[in-house]
Homo-oligomer: A and B are copies of this chain.
């Protein structure tokens, strides 16, 4: 067989391999794919709660564990998964071989706990595939030039899968989750929400960072950069999920692809910030130093030499954020710092809004009709986000979903087969 065989990279998350029963089910799915005629490379995360249990152990021996040792510890989670999956696949009568990140040469930089992949040496994987093995690779981990184990940070296993698909020039990269694909809105909030058959990288990037739990933004970014098509689908059904690709011709006339909601953020406002260069920079540089991730930032034009600066942060970061903001506010001569935890952020995302005017207006009008007050607005090329009162969050998702015709019966959206 001279021609390169059809090759699929499949990634299964921690909940898909949470216990021996589920591992066996994943094994069966992988074996089915192999027997349908494909070479298969499988990427797995750690079993269910393993990661939390290991972190718990670490916290019991150290207040501030060295990051190199955290990676040494955490990487065992995926190593356990790959060994067990290889056993389960062998039990089904197919040849399987498991590898750590180090063994397949997933070379990263030296940034422990959030390393970046530099290169992948695919030689060992290709050899195993040529020997008709199903190849199982530990997700989330790599190795630096010193042979120290590194981990890739949150969503690292998705990244491993996408990077392997790119390096191996795979025909498909399938990300298995516990949902059927990417939806126009959270089906728990909007029963009418529809699964999208296709979505672009850019839209998915916005959806990921806006709270759709399907994939981490980072791996979508890499997929976009190297144009790796991703198929997000369910571990529990054989149905087609959602394809994430570069250009989605059929979607050009779809203005809005989905509505997302985040309720885990709080709003912080620094009053009367002097309207001088560098004021905002001081606040956000200091917050970055403290590793506080700031999400939306809104600053309006100044009135009488000063302005109010508002931003949102994760609620867990609120105490640190307040400490930092108050201290800087005093230093730069700004006013009171107020905080509001009763907020939610609602966003609409769509590649189509680039070329369609009036999208923002339609969004604001829909909310006004229902007397939902908008407290902050922030926009990007393919997204509009609004901060509103939390008690209106769910109803706002439903009304926007309807206003943009995203429901199953609507004409404004089209599913392509």
Contacts and interface: CB of A to CB of B under 8 A. Distances in A.
Interface in A54-83: 54, 57-58, 60-66, 68-70, 72-73, 75-76, 79-80, 82-83
Contact of A88 (B61, B76, B90, B149): B61
A83 B62 contact: no
Given A79-B76, A84-B73, A61 B103 contact: no
Interface residues of A, number: 41
Contacts of A27: 61
B76 A97 contact: no
Contacts of A20: 57, 60-61
A223 interface: no
B66 A72 contact: no
A253 interface: no
Given A57-B80, A84-B57, A102-B102, A91 B62 contact: yes
A147 interface: yes
A239 to B, nearest CB: 26
A98 interface: yes
B87 A82 contact: no
A90 B72 contact: no
Interface string A83-117: 11111101100001110101100000000000000
A23 interface: yes
Query: What is the total number of copies of this protein in its complex?
Result: 2
Residue with the highest number of chain B CB atoms closer than 10 Å, among A57, A60, A72: A72
B103 A87 contact: no
B61 A23 contact: yes
Nearest to A102: B102
A147 B79 CA distance: 15
A221 to B, nearest CB: 30
A80 to B, nearest CB: 5
A97 B68 contact: yes
A24 interface: yes
A24 B61 contact: yes
Contacts of A75: 79
A61 B44 CA distance: 16
Nearest to A73: B83
Contacts of A86: 66, 69, 72
Nearest to A105: B147
Given A66-B87, A86-B66, A102-B102, A72 B79 contact: yes
A98 B83 CA distance: 22
Nearest to A58: B87
Interface of A: 20, 23-24, 27, 54, 57-58, 60-66, 68-70, 72-73, 75-76, 79-80, 82-88, 90-91, 96-98, 100, 102-103, 147-149
5 contacts: A20-B57, A27-B61, A57-B84, A66-B87, A76-B79
